[in-house]
Structure 1
Amino acid sequence: MQVFSLDHAAFVTFMRCATVLVGKMMAMSVATAANRFRTGTFATKEDAKMISGGDKEKAKKLLVPNDEVEQVRRAHLNDLENIIPFFIASLLYLAIEPDPHTASLLFKVFTGARVVHSIVYLARIPQPARVLSFAVGFGVTVYMLAKVAETLFF
């Protein structure tokens, strides 16, 4: 059976999880932009100039970092730092034809951990909740890479 096929259960699970994760990352982009407009906090001089109508003093105030915006932005950046490597590791892992049930479980665990991580991050739930959800997802990615390395190098 072809691994990268809709007939392969683990690949279908990967596609479902990838769809959720990409949608979540896109939602984080929208959340960052919405918080910027809500708080009147912008990242670039060009944006501040446009919003301020050319008023230089008002534009300066619009460039002051806002903690709420930065919280969402950091959560989004954390997604980018973890989800993209997960996608690459997942495709490599699928290519070594792992047990489909194990692969599906790993994909679901990672996806759940990243959703929990964003909720914990944005809701400002005290540590260790964020670091634990991060560690679970990171551990899944490391495990898959280790299995690929084991197959290729040992």
Structure 2
Amino acid sequence: MSSSLHVFALCVLVLFAKMLAISCYQGFFRLRHRAFTNPEDAGFFKRDALVHELSAVSRASRAWANDLENIPLFFALGGLCVALGTHGVATAWLFALFTVARVLHTLMYLGRRQPWRTLAYGVGLACLLGLAGLIGAALLPIR
């Protein structure tokens, strides 16, 4: 297994675990407060359905939605980098930095920490742009 593939696979696992944790976080708050917006969920606990989600659940949902806008791009660009054999060290650093940035983004989002949330988002975006640049360089070699 190439080192880029190894780092990519590790980053995918970390991002999977992070997204799973956000789901568990939402479930924890719903169960802890027995507060549900879906009537069937509320009915199961003999409660009335809420009109609005709990604040912590809504916040986690927005962090999840942001992940869904960014992480699939990482999967696609990362897979292309591995397939094209882009520069190993640069690729590995961008993979790792993106992953750290996304974890920090979630923590800052849930913790209501600005400007750190935006900074983490920007670092992740810069990594995606860097991966795209590596792919472009691999496809259009400068001679």
TM beyond 0.5: yes
| Aligned positions of 1:70-149 closer than 5 A | 70-125=58-113, 127-149=114-136
Q: Which runs of 5+ in 2 are unaligned?
A: none
Residues 72-111 of structure 1: CA deviation (Å, up to 9, x unaligned) = 1211222222112111110012222111111110011001
Q: TM-score, normalised by structure 2?
A: 0.88
Percent of matched pairs sharing the same residue: 33
Shift of 1:20: 0.8
Count how many residue pairs are aligned between Structure 1 and Structure 2. Answer: 141
For 2:130, give the aligned amino acid.
Y
1:15 matched to 2:9? The reply is yes
Task: Give every structure 1 segment of 4 or more consecutive aligned residues whose post-TM-superposition deviation is greater than 6 Å.
Answer: none
Alpha carbons 2:86, 2:135 under 8 Å: kept? no
Distance 1:81 1:43 in 2: 24
Structure with max Cα Rg: 1
1:59 matched to 2:53? The reply is no
Alpha carbons 1:113, 1:136 under 8 Å: kept? yes
Q: Secondary structure at the match of 1:93?
A: helix
Aligned to 2:18: 24
Distance 2:74 2:37 in 1: 28
Shift of 1:153: 6.3
Q: TM-score, normalised by structure 1?
A: 0.82
